Amino acid sequence: MALEIERKFLLASDDWRKSVNETRHIRQGYLCNDERASLRVRIVDDEKAYLTIKSGKAAISRDEYEYAIPLEDGEELIAKCAGRLIEKTRHIIRQGHLAWEIDVFEDRNAGLVVAEIELDHPDQEFEHPDWLGEEVSGDGRYTNASLSQHPYHDWT
Amino acid sequence: MALEIERKFLLASDDWRKSVNETRHIRQGYLCNDERASLRVRIVDDEKAYLTIKSGKAAISRDEYEYAIPLEDGEELIAKCAGRLIEKTRHIIRQGHLAWEIDVFEDRNAGLVVAEIELDHPDQEFEHPDWLGEEVSGDGRYTNASLSQHPYHDWT
C-alpha cells in the first residue's frame, strides 16, 4: 500500500510548458466507484496497463494500491468503461525530488488543465511556481473518478 | 480474461460430505460493487491473496479477471471491507474434469450451503448428484457480493 498525498491546482498561465521534462498519454476508466473505493484501469502510451484501487474520501490523502496487469486485460477492461473514460496528456516537470504532473484533459473534459504534486506528508512545504493557479485539492469535482461521470463540459 | 460460467444449487442432503477431495478456508470482501462491476479481495487459507473483478449481471455467465497480490496488501484491503465480509469453508468434489465447490458459509450467513459448478459453456450437460437441491443460478440474493451486504440471517 502507498499513501497517496496529493495537492491539486488550476493553472494561472501556460508558462509551465517551457519546463516539461516528460510527456505521456493516459487513457483510464472506472470499473466501479462507490463510497468506499474506486477501481481504475489505466493504459499509459498504449503500452502498459495498471489496476489501481483508491480508498477513502477525495481529500489530500488516500490509500492507493497499484498493480501492473497484462495490456490485453487492460484493453478489455477499458472497453467496459464506455461513458466513464478519461483521456489526457500528462506533462511531468521535476522539481527537486518532487514532480508536478500537469494533466491536459481531452474529449468531454477538454479545456481543463490541472497540476498535481505528490507529497510525502500532508503539511510538506514545496515551491509554488508562477504558473500555479487556485488550489482545488478539496473540490471533489476535480477527481478523475468524478470527471469521468460529470465531465467539465457539463459544468455550468 | 476468463468467462465465468457457473451454475449454483442448494443442497438436498449432507451426503456430499462423503465425497470431498479438498477443503479450503476463504475470507473475502467487496471493495466496491456497483451496477457495472464488483471488486473482490479474497484470502485463501491465510496464505494467498487475490483481486478479482467480475463484470456483467449475476446470471450464469460473467467476465472475470483475477490477479494474485501480496498477502500483506490482501489483509489491508480485507480490513477495509468491514461489514461486507464473507467467510466460508469451501469443499471441492471432483467430477471428471469438472468440480463441485460446496461453500459452507459462516457468521451472518451461517446455515447457508451452496454448491457451484463451473462450466465451459452455458448449456453444457453435467451429472446431477443425489445431494443436489434446487437450482438458484438466477437468484441474485445468492451471489457472494449480495450476501456480503444482505446476509442470509437477515432474510425473512
Neighbours of B130 (CB within 10 A): 8
Mean pLDDT of chain A, nearest integer: 93
Q: CB of A51 within 8 A of CB of A40?
A: yes
Q: Is A53 on the interface with B (CB under 8 A)?
A: yes
- Whether residue B36 and residue A32 make contact (CB cut-off 8 A), yes or no, is yes
Q: Which CATH architecture has domain A5-37+83-154?
A: Beta Barrel (2.40)
Q: Name the more confident of B59 and A54.
A: A54
Write out pLDDT tens, residues A123-141. 899 999 999 999 999 898 9
- Whether residue B67 and residue A53 make contact (CB cut-off 8 A), yes or no, is no
- Whether residue A33 and residue B31 make contact (CB cut-off 8 A), yes or no, is no
Mean pLDDT of chain B, nearest integer: 93
pLDDT of residue B57: 64
Q: Name the more confident of B65 and B60.
A: B65
Q: CB of A132 within 8 A of CB of A115?
A: yes
Chain A residue numbers touching B145 (CB-CB < 8 A): none
Interface of A with B in 26-45 (CB under 8 A): 31-34, 36-39
Sequence-distant (6+) residues with CB within 8 A of A64 are A1, A2, A3, A4, A52, A53, A54
What is the complex's ipTM, to 2 decimals?
0.84
pLDDT of residue A132: 97
- Whether residue A65 and residue B73 make contact (CB cut-off 8 A), yes or no, is yes
Percent of chain A with pLDDT over 90: 78
A37 vs B53, B73, B80: nearest CB: B80
pLDDT of residue A63: 87
* Nearest in space to A150 (alpha carbons), one of A91, A118, A105: A105
Boundaries of every domain in chain A: 5-37+83-154
**Min CA distance, B20 vs chain A (Å)?**
34
DSSP string, B102-148: EEEE-GGGTT-EEEEEEESSTT------TTEEEE-TT-GGGSHHHHH
Write out pLDDT tens, residues A73-96. 999 999 999 888 999 999 999 999
Q: Is A69 on the interface with B (CB under 8 A)?
A: yes
